[in-house]
Amino acid sequence: MERLLSVDETLGILGIKKATLYSWVCRRQIPVVKLSARLLKFRESDLEAFINARAVNYQQKPVKASRTIKAPNRPGKDIHEMVASIRQEVLNDL
């Protein structure tokens, strides 16, 4: 049978606060073994799978941000033109 980890051991592995762990358990974001209403244990293999599922592949090229922001009703305008246009619309409404 696989070794079950205590809450404190799990906190040490994940490097998180106890409140965060209990929040994840409550929201069913992390697998848990409930031996009773107050006794929680965690399988090593479940923690390993949990960590691996959240690993980020940094070998992918980052997405380059565009300097032009396109709004549905103002296509092609950059942010400064959009702000000036919206400011003018507001001033016209006053």
| Cross-strand partners of 37 | none
Cα distance between residue 15 and residue 81, in whole Å:
46
Q: Is residue 49 part of a domain?
A: yes
| Cross-strand partners of 43 | 4
What pLDDT does 75 receive?
A: 56
What pLDDT does 21 receive?
A: 96
Sequence-distant contacts of 32-36: CB under 8 A, at least 24 apart:
33/4
What pLDDT does 62 receive?
A: 64
Q: Is residue 86 part of a domain?
A: no
Q: Is residue 33 part of a domain?
A: yes
Cβ within 8 Å of residue 93, ≥6 positions away: none
Residue 37 structure tokens: 């209403």
Show pLDDT as tens, one digit a residue, over the chain (94 residues): 889 999 999 999 999 999 999 999 999 999 999 999 899 999 999 999 999 998 887 776 666 665 555 555 655 667 777 778 777 777 777 6
Domain with 29 in it:
4-53
Number of structural domains found in the chain = 1
Q: Is residue 24 part of a domain?
A: yes
